[in-house]
Chains A and B, each alone.
Chain A
Amino acid sequence: MAHLAVNDVRAKYGALEVLKGISFSIEKGEIAALVGPSGSGKSTVLRALMGLTPVTGGHVALAGDQLDYSNAKSVRAARDRMAIVFQQYNLFQNMTVMQNLTLAPLKIKRWPRAEVESEARRLLGLVGLGDKADAYSDQLSGGQQQRVALARALALKPQILLLDEVTSALDPELVNEVLDAVGKLAAEGMTMIIVSHEMAFVREVADKVIFMDGGQIVESGEPAALFDSPRTDRARDFFSKILRH
Chain B
Amino acid sequence: MERMIEQIPRFFSAQNLTLLLEAAGLTLAMTLVGCLIGFGLAFVLVFLRQTPGLWALPLRWICIAYVEVFRRIPFIVVIYLVLFFIQAVTPDASLFTIAVIAICLYAVAYTADIIRGGIESVPRTQVEAAEAMNLSRLQTQLKIVLPQAWPVIVPPAIAFAVSFIKDTALVSQVGVFELTFRGKELNNQGYSGILVFGTIALCYFLLSFPLSLLGQYLEKRLGTPRGQRRARKIWRT
Chain A interface (Cβ < 8 Å from any Cβ of B): 50-52, 76, 79-80, 83-84, 86, 88, 90-94, 103-104, 107-108, 136, 138, 156
Are A138 and B225 in contact, CB atoms less than 8 angstroms apart?
A: yes
Determine chain B's interface SS by DSSP, over half rule: helix
Are B147 and A90 in contact, CB atoms less than 8 angstroms apart?
A: no
Residue of A nearest to B130 (CB): A92
**In the assembled complex, B134 has its CB within 8 A of some CB on chain A:** yes
Interface residues of B in 111-164 (CB under 8 A from A): 125-126, 128-135, 139, 143-144, 147-148
Chain B interface (Cβ < 8 Å from any Cβ of A): 125-126, 128-135, 139, 143-144, 147-148, 225, 229, 232, 236
Are A94 and B144 in contact, CB atoms less than 8 angstroms apart?
A: yes
Are A156 and B133 in contact, CB atoms less than 8 angstroms apart?
A: yes
Question: Cβ of B144: which chain A residues have Cβ within 8 Å of it?
Answer: 92, 94
Question: How near does chain B come to A115, taking the closest CB pair, in angstroms?
Answer: 18
Residue of A nearest to B229 (CB): A136
A76, A92, A103 pick with most chain B CB within 10 angstroms: A92
Are A76 and B225 in contact, CB atoms less than 8 angstroms apart?
A: no
Residue of B nearest to A94 (CB): B147
Q: A92-B126, A94-B147, A103-B143 are in contact. Are A108 and B132 (CB under 8 A)?
A: no
Residue of B nearest to A105 (CB): B133
A122 to B143 Cα, complex, angstroms: 24
Are A86 and B125 in contact, CB atoms less than 8 angstroms apart?
A: yes
Question: Cβ of A103: which chain B residues have Cβ within 8 Å of it?
Answer: 133, 135, 143
Are A52 and B133 in contact, CB atoms less than 8 angstroms apart?
A: no
Question: How near does chain B come to A222, taking the closest CB pair, in angstroms?
Answer: 30
- Which of B129, B232, B236 contacts A90 (CB under 8 A)? B129
A91 to B144 Cα, complex, angstroms: 10
Question: How near does chain A come to B139, taking the closest CB pair, in angstroms?
Answer: 7
Question: Cβ of A88: which chain B residues have Cβ within 8 Å of it?
Answer: 125
Question: Cβ of A86: which chain B residues have Cβ within 8 Å of it?
Answer: 125, 128-129
B131, B133, B134, B236 pick with most chain A CB within 10 angstroms: B133
Are B134 and A108 in contact, CB atoms less than 8 angstroms apart?
A: yes
A80 to B130 Cα, complex, angstroms: 12
Question: How near does chain A come to B115, taking the closest CB pair, in angstroms?
Answer: 16
Are B133 and A108 in contact, CB atoms less than 8 angstroms apart?
A: yes
Are B134 and A94 in contact, CB atoms less than 8 angstroms apart?
A: no
A108 to B135 Cα, complex, angstroms: 7
A79 to B129 Cα, complex, angstroms: 11
Question: Cβ of A108: which chain B residues have Cβ within 8 Å of it?
Answer: 133-135
Question: Cβ of A92: which chain B residues have Cβ within 8 Å of it?
Answer: 126, 129-130, 143-144
